A = this chain, B = another copy of it.
Amino acid sequence: MQQRKLEVCLSPALLHLHDIRQSIVVVIDIFRATSSMCYGLANGAEAIIPVASVEACRSYEDTDYLLAAERNGEVVAGFDFGNSPFSYTAEKVAGKTIVLTTTNGTHAINESREAKKVVIGSFLNLGALSTWLKTQPHDVLLLCAGWKNKVNLEDSLFAGALAYHLKNEAYKLDDAAILVADLYELAQGDLKEFMKKTSHSERLKELNIEADIAFCLQIDVVDSIPVLDGDRLVKLV
């Protein structure tokens, strides 16, 4: 296959530096939005509608959709649930459409709408996603949602995992991709141990989401890839 570009954008605030119109954008928000999206669609959710604001989410109140809203790591008062993967089990989401707004992940998806295609990545679907990307004759941009536009370790690490798996294919990596691929190579032996380094560990501990974090660091739990189709994420055929 012809050489393609593989670029990494470590924050949505740097996205304007990239022309994404001919690219596949992979949106990454490991703790926890994109992990839960992958898990929910794999568990039979019909669709997930990512929206930018809590108000936009609330406007679906009179539908039979499930409404999910997270801000600053917590479920917003009055909503069914937030972005914990344990809320996206088959029992809870099979056959349902979910409207979801989160602090970072849904923002990153909205910023990517100009792309040729927007897909969702997480450790849970790493293998399926990298296998599929290799077959696509397009440039790829890995977009880390980060934390309020700041670079974070977990999204960088997953971008690194994808870059690591794609780097020997016909891709030309940019410097950010080289950087995170090396980071992943260093960390891959024990992702959970590596993530103990994060500067967010106190914040994450206060949120009491250790089980969520351990869940989101599992590799290849599902084989589905969420893709944006109009305003909703559905399973890529």
Contacts and interface: CB of A to CB of B under 8 A. Distances in A.
- In the complex this chain forms, how many copies of it are found? 2
A205 interface: no
A173 interface: yes
Given A14-B150, A152-B175, A175-B152, A186 B197 contact: no
A186 B178 contact: no
B182 A198 contact: no
Interface in A164-222: 172-180, 182-183, 186, 197-200
Interface string A147-167: 111111100100000000000
B174 A150 contact: yes
A104 interface: no
A133 interface: no
A13 interface: yes
Contacts of A10: 10, 151
A103 interface: no
A17 interface: yes
Given A13-B13, A14-B11, A150 B178 contact: no
A153 B11 CA distance: 16
Contacts of A197: 178
Contacts of A200: 175
A156 B177 CA distance: 12
A17 to B, nearest CB: 6
27 contacts: A8-B151, A13-B13, A13-B14, A14-B14, A14-B151, A17-B148, A17-B150, A147-B175, A150-B174, A150-B175, A151-B175, A151-B176, A151-B179, A152-B175, A153-B175, A153-B179, A156-B175, A173-B199, A174-B199, A175-B198, A177-B199, A178-B197, A179-B179, A179-B183, A182-B186, A183-B183, A186-B186
